[in-house]
Amino acid sequence: MKLLEDKILAEGIAESENILKVDSFINHQVDPELMKKMGKDIAEHYKGKGITRIATIESSGIAPALMAAEALGVPLVILKKQPSKILNHDLYQTVVTSYTKGTSYELTISAKYISENDHILIVDDFLANGEAATGAIRLIRKAHATIAGVSVLIEKAFQPGREKLEEQGIDVYSLARVSRLDKGVIEFVKED
């Protein structure tokens, strides 16, 4: 999506070969018009695929996932990273290790909001090594729901996330595919 690529080039900060900061429009401050357009693009890609819910991992994926859910007319389910004092019965849980942050967390969803009748699209902000997406898939499959695909705003195409997901038979749709990062350098995969 050229609009997102242009925004990344204008406001993104490449700190190293692994770190791309997009704080001014995705992670800390959210650009609502951009989110709306990205949500619409994701919905258009998955239109007619029988999606019953969208799922995202809190917190940076919430804005684009909500916009995609609105465009598709389906509910958004938020997979929780933090344990809840009140959400403690009939849960599906799995442990996810974040490559970027070097930490592990327990991903949780209430059985109340997912069933074997669901066909779920996962929407997130980044795809790098695919650990978060794989954890979300594991969690959704525990409920015997099916996966429509994984859509991300920014894919670090030089890391193995897409390959890991496609090996599992998962459709991956990325709005911007970064081919190379370095301090002050951001390059995108050239699409045909």
In the annotated binding site for xanthine, the residues are: 20, 27, 156
Can you say which residues are annotated as belonging to the binding site for 5-phospho-alpha-D-ribose 1-diphosphate?
Answer: 128-132
Beta strands in the chain (DSSP E): 13-14, 20-21, 53-57, 76-79, 91-98, 103-110, 119-127, 146-156, 172-182, 185-188
Tell me, what amino acid is at 79? L
Hey, how many other C-beta atoms are within 10 angstroms of the C-beta on 85? 5
Question: Which are the contacts of 117, defined by CB distance < 8 A and separation ≥ 6?
Answer: 52, 145
Alpha helix ranges (H) inside 86-160 = 131-142
Can you say which residues are annotated as belonging to the binding site?
Answer: 20, 27, 128-132, 156
How far is 74 from 54, CA to CA, in rounded Å?
Answer: 7
Alpha helix ranges (H) inside 116-177 = 131-142, 161-167
